[in-house]
Amino acid sequence: MSVILGIETSCDETAAAVVEDGRKVLSSCVFSQIDVHQAFGGVVPEVAARCHLESMNAVVDEALERAGVGRRQLTAIACANGPGLVGTLLVGLSCAKALSWSWSLPLITVDHLQSHVCANYIDSDLEPPFVCLLVSGGHTQLMHFSDYSASTLLGETLDDAAGEAFDKVARLLELGYPGGPAVDRAARGGDPQAYRFPEGVVDGYDFSFSGLKTAVLRTVEKLEEPLAGRACDLAASFQDAVNRVLFKKTLAAARETGVKQVVLAGGVAANSNLRERFAELTEIDVFMPSLKYCTDNAAMVASAAHFMGNAADLSATVYSRGKKSGSRR
């Protein structure tokens, strides 16, 4: 049996969680820095690192307390060590190293992107093989998992990530930060057919969202009425264009690879319209994490440590850029 304390600090959430055998969450604590960064309209890396440092110990204590678990019941300490902001990742990794050393527990590092995929193992009986659509603030990838730690990259974005496009368009539409949830909310009151934005046509399973973002910008520039009156229609039409292509390519990948399971992961997997589209599928089993495990959290880190973690020691380092999730097809 594994009882793993997970730590997550790759961007602007300080998180700690205790998870049993990769699927049963005993506690999951997330301290969000949204209020701090709101004033800047986005995450300021140095400020984020300082905030992690200030709340890390309290968040770990709370996770252990809520789980009712002491250090003697833990079997390992796990930490996401990349990709993400180097300064923030270092806070989490330093904390994990200190705990692992002082409590004589194994240290396990996990890839942040792979941990998003593992959010789907929480409270579910999902087992590979499956096709995964990973859509976060920094990444957009379609992957085929033949086993827990064996994946092939089928396609990825050639420019902006889907979440990044949501955040940029939210700024263009003056909907505020964080952008994804703001667009999601605005879109519910808008007409997705009001504007016909391009899907960003790219061959195969790759994606492109920067042209779509520019199309929204040009439309906003040409508006002859106040933006506030059109923001919901613009948000709904933009969201429709993003979700259409995400849905279409994921389904095509599942059909081509012959898998019967599709998995959504990453912050954009919290998007209500995207979830509704996939929920309507009948020929394929669709897995999506509950909303609290879509965006950054540490339960997914502890789960990933159980299923596909890397044994590490005090020489472990952090990395900012994504490693390719498995080989490219």
Q: List the alpha helices (DSSP H) in the chain.
A: 34-38, 45-67, 86-102, 112-118, 162-172, 179-187, 210-222, 227-257, 272-279, 291-294, 299-308
- Least CB distance to ligand KG4 at residue 68 (A): 27
Q: Is 110 in the site for ligand KG4 (CB under 6 A)?
A: no
Residue 52: which of ligand KG4, Zn ion, none does it interact with, CB under 5 to 8 A by kind? none
How far apart CA 29 and CA 168 sit, in angstroms, is: 28
What DSSP line would sit under 121-136, residue for residue?
Answer: GTTS---S-EEEEEE-
**89 scored as a contact of ligand KG4 (CB under 6 A):** no
Q: Which listed residue (28, 55, 114, 136) binds Zn ion by CB under 5 A?
A: 136
Dig out the tokens for 207 from the structure. 């994606």
Structure tokens given for 131: 């096709």
From the list 64-72, 129-137, 273-281, 321-329, the region that binds Zn ion by CB under 5 A is 129-137
270 binds ligand KG4, rule: CB under 6 A: yes
Q: Does position 160 bind Zn ion by CB under 5 A? A: no
Binding residue (CB under 5 A) for Zn ion from 296, 300, 301, 304: 296
Q: What is the size of the binding site for Zn ion (CB under 5 A)?
A: 2
190: tokens are 């808008």
Closest to 322 measured CA to CA, from 253, 244, 266, 247: 266
Minimum Å gap between C-beta 140 and Zn ion is: 12
Give whichever of 156 and 296 is closer to ligand KG4, judged by the CB atom: 296
Instruction: Indicate the DSSP class of residue 325.
Output: S
Residue 309 binding ligand KG4, by CB under 6 A: no
Interacting residue ranges for ligand KG4, rule: CB under 6 A: 11, 116, 136-138, 163, 166-167, 178-181, 184, 266-268, 270-271, 295-296
